[in-house]
């Protein structure tokens, strides 16, 4: 059961601190209030696990990475609990910063606290760090500050971030297996061509005319690879660097994002990902009270694909001209017709935000199914490809041996 370090003020005005054990931070705050104490600070105690040891070693060696999405998620969840427990935002930021292991994130939180102390709104303070707190985060916080539902909105933001983190893990996890198999196949092929096959060159020496064409072909490739080994090292590195620079250009990004929507096996997964992300973002913003035009802008910016970003920007322009959202979506191939019909129904009923969240949940489930389907299809394909390559190399080595054995026996 987790432990929490607290600081509280008794009814007599005396300050008291200590450590207590509870199921959650909310339960810990409730326990303290039931004892007549006013909670001032409540932060979780971190165990001395291997992760903490590695963090301390990294800090000792001056390894400091930027805050991760998981750290921002934990911060948001803790802040929501502390605000709900009656702790001021200044004290909450100070308490969370004290318990943060990442030095860069600690410095950022301290800067945010200073901005809040100087009179700035929390949304204004975090907007200075767009890489950590994106437009969705800032706009939802800004809406909550106007409506007075700060803690509740932080909970919604944390839930949204958790879903995005789980989606990212699923996509990355689905990409790891094909990458490992492809790397293994490439490594085995290079090993056979540069180490195993040359060992047979002396056996086949002087008998080149009698060798079958697969053996001649592979021996020629093997000789070239051994003589030009540096090309095998340089070309992949240069190619990878060039590809990274290319997709960072406007043309390259447009081509890459378009390819992801057309690539066999992957297109269904990516379409479900972008549709789910777009609709969930827009639904969250609308339900938070963010204006439609601002919601469309933010949705486009964090959609993750330049084609979808362009789509939502066109919708934004159309809405500015007085058209409805679904009217601008009628002719796009990026959204299924059923989604457009649901958007139209949501606009007519005045419950667009709720409808979008329901459709986003459907496509989140579709994304999980697409990932499972893609993984199950890629596995046998990669095994067949790898087996064919290794089998062809083995055949090219064994065939001439059988042929020479038959000649000797004859």
Neighbours of 376 (CB within 10 A): 9
* Model confidence at 161: pLDDT above 60: yes
What pLDDT band is residue 237 in, cutting at 50, 70 and 90?
A: very high
60-69, 71-80, 85-94, 259-268 — which is least confidently predicted? Answer: 60-69
* Model confidence at 308: pLDDT above 70: yes
The CATH architecture that domain 3-164 belongs to is: Up-down Bundle (1.20)
Each residue of 174-216: pLDDT tens digit? 778 777 877 887 888 888 888 877 877 777 676 666 777 888 8
> What pLDDT is stored for residue 396 in this prediction?
79
Q: What is the DSSP letter of 192?
A: I
> What pLDDT is stored for residue 14 in this prediction?
67
Each residue of 129-160: pLDDT tens digit? 888 888 888 888 888 887 777 888 888 888 88
- State mean pLDDT over 356-374: 86
* Distance in angstroms (rounded) separating the CA atoms of residues 182 and 385: 9
Who contacts 79 (Cβ-Cβ below 8 Å, separation ≥6)? 89, 92, 93, 96, 154
Domain with CATH 1.20.81.30 in the chain: 3-164, 165-410
> What pLDDT is stored for residue 50 in this prediction?
41
* Model confidence at 59: pLDDT above 50: no
- Residue range 165-410 in CATH 1.20.81.30: yes
> What pLDDT is stored for residue 331 in this prediction?
81
* Model confidence at 52: pLDDT above 70: no
Tokens (6 digits) for 234? 């340089």
Who contacts 212 (Cβ-Cβ below 8 Å, separation ≥6)? 396, 399, 400, 403
* Model confidence at 243: pLDDT above 90: yes
The DSSP secondary structure of 97-139, one letter per residue, reads HHH---HHHHHHHHHHHHHHHTT--HHHHHTT-TTTS-HHHHH
Kindly state the percentage of the chain with pLDDT values over 90: 10
Q: Give pairs for 123-130: CB < 8 Å, separation 24+.
A: none
> What pLDDT is stored for residue 32 in this prediction?
74
Beta bridge partners of 41: 7
Average pLDDT of the chain?
81
Each residue of 274-306: pLDDT tens digit? 998 888 888 888 888 888 888 898 888 888 889
Q: Please report the sign of the dihedral spanned by the C-alpha atoms of residue 339, residue 345, residue 348, residue 350.
A: negative
> What pLDDT is stored for residue 307 in this prediction?
93
Each residue of 5-35: pLDDT tens digit? 777 767 666 666 777 777 666 667 777 777 7
What pLDDT band is residue 61 in, cutting at 50, 70 and 90?
A: very low
Tokens (6 digits) for 392? 């062809």
Q: Quote the pTM value.
A: 0.69
Beta bridge partners of 175: none
């Amino acid at each position: 059961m987790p432990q929490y370090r607290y600081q509280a003020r008794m009814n007599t005005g005396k300050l008291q601190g200590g450590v207590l054990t509870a199921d959650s931070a909310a339960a810990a705050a409730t326990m303290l209030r039931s004892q007549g104490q006013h909670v001032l600070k409540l932060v979780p105690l971190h165990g001395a696990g291997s992760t903490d040891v590695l963090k301390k070693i990294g800090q000792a060696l001056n390894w400091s990475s930027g805050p991760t999405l998981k750290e921002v998620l934990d911060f948001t969840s803790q802040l929501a609990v502390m605000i709900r427990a009656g702790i001021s935002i200044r004290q909450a930021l100070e308490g969370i910063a004290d318990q943060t292991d990442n030095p860069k994130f600690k410095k950022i939180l301290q800067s945010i606290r200073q901005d809040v102390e100087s009179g700035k709104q929390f949304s204004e303070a975090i907007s200075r760090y767009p890489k950590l707190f994106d437009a969705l985060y800032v706009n939802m916080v800004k809406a909550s500050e106007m409506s007075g539902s700060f803690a509740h909105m932080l909970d919604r933001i944390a839930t949204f971030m958790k879903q995005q983190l789980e989606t990212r893990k699923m996509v990355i996890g689905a990409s790891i297996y094909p990458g490992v198999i492809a790397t293994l196949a490439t490594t085995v092929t290079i090993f056979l061509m540069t180490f195993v096959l040359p060992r047979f060159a002396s056996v086949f020496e002087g008998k080149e005319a009698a060798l079958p064409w697969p053996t001649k072909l592979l021996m020629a490739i093997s000789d070239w690879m051994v003589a030009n080994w540096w090309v095998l090292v340089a070309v992949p590195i240069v190619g990878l660097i060039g590809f990274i620079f290319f997709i960072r250009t406007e043309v390259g990004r447009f081509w890459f994002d378009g390819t992801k929507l057309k690539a066999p096996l992957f297109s269904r997964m990516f379409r479900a990902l972008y549709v789910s992300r777009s609709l969930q973002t827009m639904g969250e913003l609308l339900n938070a009270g963010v204006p439609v035009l601002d919601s469309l802008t933010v949705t486009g910016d964090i959609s993750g694909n330049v084609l979808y970003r362009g789509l939502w920007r066109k919708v934004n322009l159309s809405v500015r001209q007085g058209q409805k959202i679904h009217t601008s979506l009628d002719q796009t191939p990026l959204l299924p017709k059923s989604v457009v019909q649901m958007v139209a129904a949501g606009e007519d009923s005045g419950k667009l935000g709720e409808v979008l969240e329901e459709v986003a949940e459907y496509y989140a489930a579709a994304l999980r199914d697409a990932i499972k389907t893609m993984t199950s299809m890629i596995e046998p394909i990669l095994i067949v490809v790898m087996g064919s390559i290794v089998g062809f190399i083995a055949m090219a080595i064994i065939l001439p041996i059988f042929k020479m054995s038959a000649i000797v026996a004859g």
